[in-house]
Protein backbone atom coordinates (compact mmCIF):
# COMPACT_ATOMS: atom_id res chain seq x y z
CA UNK A 1 0.00 0.00 0.00
CA UNK A 2 1.25 3.47 -0.89
CA UNK A 3 1.30 5.82 2.08
CA UNK A 4 2.85 8.78 0.21
CA UNK A 5 -0.22 11.00 0.46
CA UNK A 6 -0.62 10.29 4.16
CA UNK A 7 3.03 11.17 4.85
CA UNK A 8 2.67 14.31 2.75
CA UNK A 9 -0.38 15.45 4.74
CA UNK A 10 1.33 14.68 8.04
CA UNK A 11 4.46 16.60 7.02
CA UNK A 12 2.37 19.55 5.81
CA UNK A 13 0.47 19.59 9.11
CA UNK A 14 3.72 19.43 11.09
CA UNK A 15 5.20 22.27 9.02
CA UNK A 16 2.09 24.36 9.67
CA UNK A 17 2.24 23.59 13.38
CA UNK A 18 5.90 24.60 13.43
CA UNK A 19 5.04 27.96 11.91
CA UNK A 20 2.12 28.41 14.30
CA UNK A 21 4.30 27.44 17.28
CA UNK A 22 7.07 29.76 16.06
CA UNK A 23 4.65 32.66 15.94
CA UNK A 24 3.48 31.76 19.43
CA UNK A 25 7.12 31.70 20.54
CA UNK A 26 7.35 35.48 20.05
CA UNK A 27 5.10 36.17 23.04
CA UNK A 28 6.08 37.44 25.55
CA UNK A 29 8.50 39.45 23.45
CA UNK A 30 12.10 38.96 24.45
CA UNK A 31 15.38 38.60 22.62
CA UNK A 32 15.67 34.84 23.10
CA UNK A 33 12.02 34.12 22.29
CA UNK A 34 12.23 36.13 19.05
CA UNK A 35 15.39 34.30 17.93
CA UNK A 36 13.96 30.85 18.74
CA UNK A 37 10.64 31.80 17.13
CA UNK A 38 12.42 32.80 13.91
CA UNK A 39 14.28 29.49 13.83
CA UNK A 40 11.12 27.46 14.37
CA UNK A 41 9.33 29.41 11.63
CA UNK A 42 12.25 28.77 9.26
CA UNK A 43 12.20 25.06 10.16
CA UNK A 44 8.45 24.96 9.49
CA UNK A 45 8.81 26.73 6.14
CA UNK A 46 11.60 24.32 5.16
CA UNK A 47 9.43 21.34 6.12
CA UNK A 48 6.60 22.68 3.96
CA UNK A 49 8.98 23.38 1.06
CA UNK A 50 10.33 19.82 1.12
CA UNK A 51 6.86 18.51 0.33
CA UNK A 52 6.76 20.41 -2.96
CA UNK A 53 10.35 20.83 -4.07
CA UNK A 54 13.73 19.54 -2.91
CA UNK A 55 16.49 22.12 -3.30
CA UNK A 56 19.89 20.53 -4.07
CA UNK A 57 21.47 22.23 -1.05
CA UNK A 58 19.11 20.40 1.31
CA UNK A 59 20.26 17.02 -0.03
CA UNK A 60 23.82 18.05 0.67
CA UNK A 61 23.55 19.90 4.00
CA UNK A 62 20.55 18.22 5.66
CA UNK A 63 20.47 14.61 4.44
CA UNK A 64 18.94 13.49 7.75
CA UNK A 65 15.60 14.86 6.51
CA UNK A 66 15.45 12.04 3.96
CA UNK A 67 14.97 9.15 6.38
CA UNK A 68 12.30 8.35 8.92
CA UNK A 69 14.71 8.38 11.84
CA UNK A 70 16.39 11.62 10.82
CA UNK A 71 13.16 13.46 10.25
CA UNK A 72 11.71 11.94 13.42
CA UNK A 73 14.58 13.18 15.57
CA UNK A 74 14.32 16.60 13.89
CA UNK A 75 10.59 16.73 14.73
CA UNK A 76 11.27 15.66 18.32
CA UNK A 77 13.89 18.42 18.60
CA UNK A 78 11.59 21.14 17.25
CA UNK A 79 8.67 19.87 19.33
CA UNK A 80 10.78 20.01 22.49
CA UNK A 81 11.76 23.62 21.74
CA UNK A 82 8.08 24.58 21.70
CA UNK A 83 7.09 22.87 24.96
CA UNK A 84 6.48 25.93 27.13
CA UNK A 85 3.53 28.08 28.11
CA UNK A 86 1.14 29.28 26.59
CA UNK A 87 -1.03 26.30 25.79
CA UNK A 88 -0.84 26.72 21.99
CA UNK A 89 2.91 26.05 22.08
CA UNK A 90 2.45 23.05 24.36
CA UNK A 91 -0.16 21.57 22.00
CA UNK A 92 1.90 22.28 18.86
CA UNK A 93 5.11 20.98 20.46
CA UNK A 94 3.41 17.83 21.74
CA UNK A 95 1.88 16.98 18.37
CA UNK A 96 5.16 17.60 16.54
CA UNK A 97 7.06 15.48 19.08
CA UNK A 98 4.55 12.63 18.88
CA UNK A 99 4.81 12.61 15.07
CA UNK A 100 8.60 12.54 15.50
CA UNK A 101 8.38 9.50 17.76
CA UNK A 102 6.11 7.85 15.20
CA UNK A 103 8.65 8.47 12.43
CA UNK A 104 11.46 7.01 14.52
CA UNK A 105 9.35 3.89 15.07
CA UNK A 106 8.56 3.68 11.33
CA UNK A 107 12.29 3.48 10.61
CA UNK A 108 12.26 -0.02 12.14
CA UNK A 109 9.19 -1.31 10.28
CA UNK A 110 10.51 -2.64 6.96
CA UNK A 111 7.06 -3.06 5.40
CA UNK A 112 6.58 0.72 5.28
CA UNK A 113 8.86 2.52 2.86
CA UNK A 114 9.46 6.26 2.99
CA UNK A 115 7.73 8.32 0.30
CA UNK A 116 9.70 9.42 -2.75
CA UNK A 117 10.45 12.91 -1.42
CA UNK A 118 12.07 11.35 1.65
CA UNK A 119 14.24 9.02 -0.45
CA UNK A 120 15.66 11.65 -2.78
CA UNK A 121 18.87 12.41 -0.87
CA UNK A 122 20.91 12.32 -4.04
CA UNK A 123 22.40 8.95 -3.12
CA UNK A 124 24.99 10.65 -0.92
CA UNK A 125 23.89 9.39 2.48
CA UNK A 126 21.69 6.76 4.02
CA UNK A 127 21.41 3.16 5.04
CA UNK A 128 20.68 2.14 1.44
CA UNK A 129 24.21 2.94 0.37
CA UNK A 130 26.81 0.24 1.03
pLDDT digits (tens, 9 = 90+) for 29-48: 999 999 999 999 999 999 99
Residues of the chain above pLDDT 70, percent:
92
- pLDDT reading at 27 higher than 50: yes
How confident is the model at residue 96, as a pLDDT? Answer: 97
- pLDDT reading at 52 higher than 80: yes
In this structure, the number of other CB atoms found within 10 A of the CB of residue 4 comes to 13
**pLDDT interval class at 122 (50, 70, 90):** low
For 112, residues 6+ apart whose C-beta sits below 8 A from its C-beta are: 3, 106
How confident is the model at residue 123, as a pLDDT? Answer: 52
Angle, helices 68-82/31-50, rounded to nearest 10 degrees = 150
Amino acid sequence: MDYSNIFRLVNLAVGGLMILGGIGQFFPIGFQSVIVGCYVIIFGAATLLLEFQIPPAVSRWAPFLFSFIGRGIFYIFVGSILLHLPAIRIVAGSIIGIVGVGYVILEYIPQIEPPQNMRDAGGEWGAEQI
